[in-house]
Chains A and B, each alone.
Chain A
Amino acid sequence: MIEGVSIYEILTLSTLIFFIGVFGFFTRKNLIAMLMSIELILNSAAFNFVIVNKYLYPEQLDGGIFSLFIIAIAAAETALALAIIINLYRLVMSLNTDKLETLKN
């Protein structure tokens, strides 16, 4: 834990980052920008795991291990999503979600 900082303040920080990510996910129209908002959401989720572990159950390590797994999965997910996006860009020459309707035809 951090000297003089309670769990409430840290959870407030992670909640705000999570919902800033949600806001970005709703407003963005560009695929890469939407993926960046997802990174914010994943980061705050991993942060929550570590904080709850450190503040409530400091003798255990499960939260920290889980956030390591979240980081590993996020890296894999980002690599795959960016590969799909680059491939899609070759097909339609745009990343705007309004123009990506090729599956409808």
Chain B
Amino acid sequence: MEKIVFYILAMIMIVFAVMSVTSRNVMRAIVFLLFVMLGLAGIYFMIDFFFLAAVQMTVYAGGIIILYITSIMLVERIGEPLDKPKPIHQYIAGGIASLGAGMSLFAIYNYDFDQVTEETTTTIADVGRTLLNYGDGGYILPFEVISILLLAAMVGAIVIAKSYQKKESSN
């Protein structure tokens, strides 16, 4: 049963990922990307990592996609399709991508993974204890650094998006 659900999710994700990088309407491409993100969240649910699935859905599917849609509405002419890539570029890119995929898959299938068989559930309490642990194997320092990074990114985004207008008025 879980196997069937996994294969359906995998199929959805691959089809929508391909459509997302080939669609010439940028608004459709972003909606296809949304389905890939939701598929990933579904797989996170299947491996019993609920917190990460929730983060994937709120941050990626909720936040980042909305950010993209807003900026597409600001800068793109929605009805106009994107430029068609040159066929030679498409062949070269397809060649490089399939070569890389082939090499990676070859390496993966030739490596003997030492898999476990029991299912483990990661609870939110585990995640919280690991993130706020200051002992061995704790992640409190990166956690704090990430919060500083998010603050810096927020201030930076405001400053960058504002600066052009400011310069114009001062000249």
Contacts and interface: CB of A to CB of B under 8 A. Distances in A.
Contacts, number: 226
Given A32-B26, A50-B44, A56 B116 contact: yes
Nearest to B21: A24
A40 to B, nearest CB: 6
Contact of B40 (A43, A58, A62, A69): A43
A21 B166 CA distance: 36
A82 to B, nearest CB: 5
Interface residues of B, number: 83
Interface in B106-130: 108-109, 113-120, 122, 126-127, 130
B55 to A, nearest CB: 6
B82 A30 contact: yes
Contacts of B49: 50, 54, 64
Per DSSP, chain A at the interface is helix
List of 10 A-B pairs having minimum Cβ-Cβ separation, nearest first: A24-B21, A26-B93, A76-B153, A23-B97, A4-B3, A19-B101, A58-B120, A83-B157, A83-B161, A27-B85
Given A16-B14, A27-B93, A36-B68, 11 more contacts: A1-B120, A4-B3, A5-B2, A16-B101, A18-B104, A23-B96, A29-B85, A32-B68, A33-B82, A40-B21, A58-B118
